Amino acid sequence: MKIAIIGGGIGGTATACALRAKGFEVALFEQAAAFGEVGAGVQITPNAVKAIMGLGLDHKLDAVAFRPRAVSGRHWQSGRQNFRIDLGEEFRAHYRAPFLHIHRADLLDVFASELPPEVCHFNKRLEGVAQTGAGVQLQFADGSRFEADLVVGADGVRSAVRREVFGAGDLRWTGHQCYRALVPTGGVVGHVAPESAFWMGPKAHVVTYYVKGGAAVNIVAVTEAAEWVEESWSARSSRTAMLKDFEGWHPDLQKLFEGVDEVYNWGLFDRDPMPGWSKGAVTLLGDACHPMLPFLSQGAAMAIEDAYVLAQALALHPDAPGAALAAYEAERLPRTARVQLEARERGRTYHLPSEDEMAARDAEYARRAKEDPRTTGINTDWVYDYDPRDFAARRAA
């Protein structure tokens, strides 16, 4: 079976690795001239680390990742800690994997460096998909074509594969925009500690964490906006704009923001969960089928889990791709839909407008923390506990 993957982001490259590990012939098509990621960090939670362990690539991940000591929730103005999840030995043993912080380019490279040059086709922007009885005909912007037995659309939130096969559908403006920046760790102060800190304030929140093995702090600072005016959804912004939007926030954050050089500005879009991801010999993966708000830190994680499960499903049904795609969707669609919807809900609870509502939320976080220190506040036990490596055994049972 000849499998074409459209998109060379984290999802597409992970898929190519997972399929090749199962012995499938793969061709990956990326519209850019080379693999590349934006200069920002990503949190990789234990559920996704387990998929990477399943691919035998965790040694590469470990070499470039930073291990934070905790996830902590903080009050926007006072810096008071509202919840804390210790990420030490007990956490790692419970979830059978660590919680990691990593620069996006480093994560992409964990997968991309596994792919031989003959598998990767650059400057190939997909424009058309036609299913014939014999296979799938792909049409690229440069006029070239490719014939595949199976196609995986891993081409992101504005997926051309999705548009061609399912129609464009609505990309939903979530009412959130974010600033993203990296700051060298040298100037970092106080509460911006080597942990994943969630600073929650009125109609905004900030997440700070270490990447590049601890050499830099990644900042994601989210505010609400009536509409997104930029044509691009990753535009340049400025330190001044960022400082203005976070006026009055804790001095440690202000100090961190003052050290920012390059700032990117993203409008955050998502979609409603889809009823299905596959038609004939074409399926979707990652942001192409389940774009989500980043408030549970799960977009890339879900794409990596998808990649691992899709390869296992195809290996279970090598002569019946239809059955494989049905098994893939049955495993992945309910989970990713729940994550999409819960991430939306976090958009509301992280941004409560008044101090009274924030105090009630924080009291609830404290109550949950007392009940079970692992699930505290952001309630992520069900997300982290999932182990994609169990998929084949669960199917067989």
Ligand X SMILES: Cc1cc2nc3c(=O)[nH]c(=O)nc-3n(C[C@H](O)[C@H](O)[C@H](O)COP(=O)(O)OP(=O)(O)OC[C@H]3O[C@@H](n4cnc5c(N)ncnc54)[C@H](O)[C@@H]3O)c2cc1C
Q: Which residues inside 136-175 make contact with ligand X, applying CB under 6 A?
A: 154-156, 160
DSSP class per residue in 88-152: SHHHHHHHTS--EEEEHHHHHHHHHTTS-GGGEE-S--EEEEEE-SS-EEEEETTS-EEEESEEE
Q: Which of 287, 331, 342, 362 lies at the binding interface for ligand X (CB under 6 A)? A: 287
Q: Which CB atom, from 97 or from 301, has the smaller least distance to ligand X?
A: 301
Q: Is 30 in the site for ligand X (CB under 6 A)?
A: yes
Q: Which CB atom, from 128 or from 318, has the smaller least distance to ligand X?
A: 128
Least Å distance, CB 11 to ligand X, is 3
User: Which H or E run includes 12?
Assistant: helix 10-21
Q: Which CB atom, from 198 or from 365, has the smaller least distance to ligand X?
A: 198
d(CA 285, CA 304): 9
Q: Is 266 in the site for ligand X (CB under 6 A)?
A: yes
Q: Which residues inside 177-206 make contact with ligand X, applying CB under 6 A?
A: 178, 180
Q: Is 123 in the site for ligand X (CB under 6 A)?
A: no
Q: Which of 43, 174, 237, 265 lies at the binding interface for ligand X (CB under 6 A)? A: 43
- Of 2-10, 88-96, 183-191, 271-279, the segment contacting ligand X by CB under 6 A is 2-10
**What one-character DSSP code corresponds to residue 389?**
G
Q: Is 125 in the site for ligand X (CB under 6 A)?
A: yes
Least Å distance, CB 376 to ligand X, is 18
Q: How many residues bind ligand X (CB under 6 A)?
A: 34
Name residue, tokens 């390059």.
262
Least Å distance, CB 192 to ligand X, is 17
Judge contact between 177 and 226, C-beta under 8 A. Answer: no
d(CA 48, CA 25): 24
- Residue 198: beta bridge partners? 73, 207
Q: Which amino acid is at 232?
A: S
Binding mask 296-335 for ligand X (x = CB under 6 A): -xxxxx-x--------------------------------
Instruction: State the Rg of the chain over Cα.
Output: 21
Least Å distance, CB 325 to ligand X, is 17
d(CA 309, CA 328): 6
Q: Is 31 in the site for ligand X (CB under 6 A)?
A: yes
Q: Which CB atom, from 230 or from 372, has the smaller least distance to ligand X?
A: 230
Q: Which CB atom, from 229 or from 396, has the smaller least distance to ligand X?
A: 229
User: Which H or E run includes 179?
Assistant: strand 172-184
Q: Is 29 in the site for ligand X (CB under 6 A)?
A: yes
Least Å distance, CB 265 to ligand X, is 10
d(CA 374, CA 194): 19
Active site residues: 209
- Residue 210: beta bridge partners? 217
DSSP class per residue in 237-304: E-HHHHHHHTTTS-HHHHHHHHT---EEEEEEEE-PPPS-S-BTTEEE-GGGT----GGGS-HHHHHH
Q: Which CB atom, from 193 or from 222, has the smaller least distance to ligand X?
A: 222
Q: Which CB atom, from 6 or from 309, has the smaller least distance to ligand X?
A: 6
Residues engaged in binding ligand X (CB under 6 A): 6-12, 29-32, 42-43, 124-126, 154-156, 160, 178, 180, 220, 266, 286-288, 294, 297-301, 303
